[in-house]
Amino acid sequence: MEIFLDTANIDEIKKGVDWGIVDGVTTNPTLVSKEQALFEERIKEICDVVQGPVSAEVVSTKYEGMVEEAQKLAKLSEHVVVKIPLIPDGIKAIRTLSRKGIKTNATLVFSPLQALLAAKAGASYVSPFIGRMDDIGNTGMTIVEEIMDIFINYGYDTKVIVASVRHPQHVLEAALIGADVVTMPFGVLEKMFKHPMTDIGLENFLKDWEKYQEYLKNKDKN
Ligand code: E4P
């Protein structure tokens, strides 16, 4: 399973990449606006750090504007994947961009049929928003399962990015059903390391090791 960080924060991305377990990054207009950085510069910076797929979202809602923005974004780095919202103009833009060899990530996906349209149009990725589905009383992960079934049925090579991830349980569920990618906030990645038994176990090993060193010192003296 590929792990992407869902952030535009460069320090978080550097930390994750330094751990050697981050394959890519997703951003969106909200995440970028939180950083108060210049959009295109930040995307280039992220691409340099992660050296893997980096999703950057268009803000136009019309076909022509989306294609124009996407072409500009794609020129920033070979790693750029252009995020396009799942609306009719977006699907048309994905089709055009895929014919031009520009990678796309269909975003704001909330149903398996939306994902089917994106795959048919040639999207490289689709991003079902799991947490936001859970927020309104649905089971977000069911949509991921259905999307994966549809893609297998028809042999689409569009990758599924489990997005809007809120906690490690989402990551576990996504991994168990074999999702291609999970994009997560940095805090969720940090929590994946954590287990109280690991901390207690390590503390005890180190204490025992110290006692053993004491024993060796005293043994030489006697
Ligand atoms: C996906 O690519 C989006 O950036 C993101 O996962 C949205 O998540 P949110 O629901 O936490 O805003």
Return the amino acid letter for 26: T
* pLDDT for 219: 87
Two tokens, residue 7: 């952030």
Going residue by residue through the chain, which has 222 residues, state the pLDDT in tens, using 9 for 90 and above.
999 999 999 999 999 999 999 999 999 999 999 999 999 999 999 999 999 999 999 999 999 999 999 999 999 999 999 999 999 999 999 999 999 999 999 999 999 999 999 999 999 999 999 999 999 999 999 999 999 999 999 999 999 999 999 999 999 999 999 999 999 999 999 999 999 999 999 999 999 999 999 999 998 776
Single pTM value for the model: 0.95
Largest alpha-carbon pair distance within the chain? 86
* Pocket perturbation via mutation, ligand 1, pick of 57, 129, 183, 186 by most ligand atoms within 8 A of CB: 129
- Report the alpha-carbon distance of residue 178 to residue 56 in Å, rounded: 25
* pLDDT for 221: 78
Closest CA to 27 of 48, 52, 49, 56: 56
pLDDT digits (tens, 9 = 90+) for 54-112: 999 999 999 999 999 999 999 999 999 999 999 999 999 999 999 999 999 999 999 99
4 lines ligand 1 (CB under 6 A): no
* pLDDT for 183: 98
* pLDDT for 220: 73
Terminal CA-to-CA distance of the chain, rounded, Å? 56
Cα-to-centroid distance, 188 and ligand 1 (Å): 13
127 lines ligand 1 (CB under 6 A): yes
* pLDDT for 222: 64
132 lines ligand 1 (CB under 6 A): yes
Q: Whose CA is nearest to atom 5 of ligand 1?
A: 164
Q: Whose CA is nearest to atom 9 of ligand 1?
A: 164
164 lines ligand 1 (CB under 6 A): yes
